Amino acid sequence: MKLAGFVSLVFLTLTLWPHGATGQATQKSEEVAQKSAEAWLALADAGKYAETWDEAAVYFKNAITKERWVNAMKSTRTPLGAVRVRKLKSARYTKTLPNAPDGEYVVIQYDTSFENKGSAVETITPVFDKDGKWHVSGYYIK
């Protein structure tokens, strides 16, 4: 999908693993970040692309304008149609990502089936932002 080119945090390989972060704090971060990601995905699923930008991380907003984001989502996400099934594949806490500032991230992947694409992997990456909340800093569909 061309969406990868629009968000500079779209990054990923399956080799991203936590770097020294373990225990209950990491698990709690993953859980809270996942809830934030799912709320954001619900907006995307409803076609509320401008609202996904509004709810995104500061880094995300600095990487792409709202207008460009909405246009990218309309051209790449809308044609996929409605989500049929979305199943959590993995969630990994990390403090570093390629081409991104150090911080607290959770890289979450879902196996997703859309109305017009039977099998896809959605990668969504919340970051613990300056306001003390988890916000999406990257989204990619493959």
Instruction: Please state the separation of Cα 113 from the chain's center in Å.
Output: 17
Q: Tens digits of per-residue pLDDT, 66-125?
A: 999 999 999 999 999 999 999 999 999 999 999 889 999 999 999 999 999 999 999 999
Answer yes or no: are the C-beta atoms of 52 and 136 closer than 8 Å. Answer: yes
Name, in order, each residue with C-beta under 8 angstroms of 81's C-beta and a sequence gap of 6 or more.
114, 115, 116, 117
Chain segment 19-65, per-residue pLDDT in tens: 444 455 677 878 999 999 999 999 999 999 999 999 999 999 999 99
Question: What's the confidence (pLDDT) of residue 24?
Answer: 52
- Separation between Cα atoms, residue 90 and residue 100, nearest integer Å: 20
**Cα gap 133→77, rounded to integer Å:** 26
pLDDT reported for residue 29: 79
Whether 10 and 3 have beta carbons less than 8 Å apart is answered as: yes
Spans of all domains in the chain = 3-141
User: For residues 40 and 16, which has the higher predicted lDDT (pLDDT)?
Assistant: 40
Q: What is the pTM of this model?
A: 0.81
Smallest Cα–Cα separation from 98: which of 25, 17, 10, 1? 10
Fold classified for 3-141 = Nuclear Transport Factor 2; Chain: A, (3.10.450)
